[in-house]
Amino acid sequence: MVIYKHELTSPPKDARARELWIQHAAGFILFQDSRAYAIDRIDTRLTPKARAAVIKGIDDALYGLMMIVDGVSGQLANDSDEISIAMLVRHSRKLPSGNAALIEELDLQDGDGMCMGIHSWRDGDFGEHPPAVVRDEGPAPKRAVRTSSKKAKPTVRAKKSRRK
């Protein structure tokens, strides 16, 4: 089922429960917007065995992404420099103006581990406080315009190589 057919649940009041809820919400989004998307596009003419092999490939690729998100892999370095990928999850609150205010932000490398969560998410278990419920039929909600109190960091662009 596509993500727009779901609605975010209210966050738990307890700080630790809310942190887990945010992590489960990230997993839910990744599962709906990547795993479910890919599974929905599997050729319906495949045998059940071939379909299962394709789903295993999808799950393996998603697990590889979770390892990058957790910082287990995904760094590229030399003796003096390193490039790594970080994934942030933002919880925002919609304002009457149509904008959104940042409530909380979590770097998933600081979380409990997306590699751990994936095993329960495959079974549809998104924790004690599930982040989403199926929405009543109707159009997808309008997204709030996110504004940030942080100033944007200047973009540093690498010079183009002159090699031919």
- CA atoms within a 13 Å half-sphere pointing along the CA-CB vector of 50: 6
**What pLDDT is attached to residue 159?**
41
Cα dihedral: 128, 129, 135, 141 (round 10): -150
Summarize pLDDT for 34-54 with one digit per residue, the tens.
999 999 999 999 999 999 999
What phi and psi, each to the nearest 5 degrees, are found at residue 121? -65, -35
Cα separation of 44 and 46, whole Å? 6
**What pLDDT is attached to residue 157?**
41
Indicate the pTM of the whole model.
0.77
Domain ranges of the chain: 3-143
What phi and psi, each to the nearest 5 degrees, are found at residue 115? -65, -30
Structure-token pair, residue 19: 């942190």
Angle CA 97–102–107, to nearest 5: 155
Summarize pLDDT for 88-141 with one digit per residue, the tens.
999 999 999 989 999 999 999 998 999 899 999 999 899 999 999 998 866 555
Q: Is 141 exposed, middle or buried (0-12, 13-18, 19+ CB in 10 A)?
A: exposed
Burial 101-126 (b: 16+ CB within 10 A, else e): eeeeebebbebebbeebbeebeeeeb
**What pLDDT is attached to residue 142?**
57
For residues 104 and 18, the answer to whether their CB atoms sit within 8 Å is yes
